[in-house]
């Protein structure tokens, strides 16, 4: 009998505040949905910003790599040119000495 009384009392209590409880539950659900929407919007903004930063960083790295390659190519070209000039001078000097040796 006690269980039946408690059950009936609980049912009456829920029935008495049913509409108020439903309204509050709906308001809480709306607030939760608004919070979730705002959090999702912020997350999208954060991901977009992180992606943009990553692309910017990658672009800068590629630009720097390109400049380094270009500088290396220029330095290599200058070294080859300098080496070729020295080789030509040495060959010319050797030929001059050889010619003088033949004359003597």
Per-residue pLDDT, averaged over 62-83, amounts to 92
The span from the CA of 104 to the CA of 86, in Å, is 27
Per-residue pLDDT, averaged over 43-50, amounts to 93
- Give the residue extent of every domain in the chain: 2-103
Please give the mean pLDDT across all residues of the chain: 82
Query: How far, in Å, are 11, 23, 31, 37, 94 from residue 27 at the CA level?
Result: 23, 6, 6, 15, 100
The span from the CA of 50 to the CA of 1, in Å, is 65
Instruction: Give the alpha-carbon dihedral of 23, 27, 33, 37, to 10 degrees.
Output: 150
* pLDDT of residue 15 exceeding 70: no
């Amino acid at each position: 009998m006690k269980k039946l009384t408690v059950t009936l009392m609980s049912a009456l209590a829920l029935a008495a505040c049913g509409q108020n409880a439903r309204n509050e539950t709906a308001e809480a659900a709306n607030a939760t949905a608004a919070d979730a929407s705002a959090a999702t919007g912020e997350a999208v903004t954060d991901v977009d910003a992180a992606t943009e930063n990553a692309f910017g960083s990658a672009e800068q790295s590629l630009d720097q790599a390109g400049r380094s390659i270009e500088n290396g190519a220029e330095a290599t070209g200058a070294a080859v040119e300098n080496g070729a000039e020295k080789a030509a001078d040495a060959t010319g000097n050797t030929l001059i000495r050889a010619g003088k040796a033949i004359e003597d």
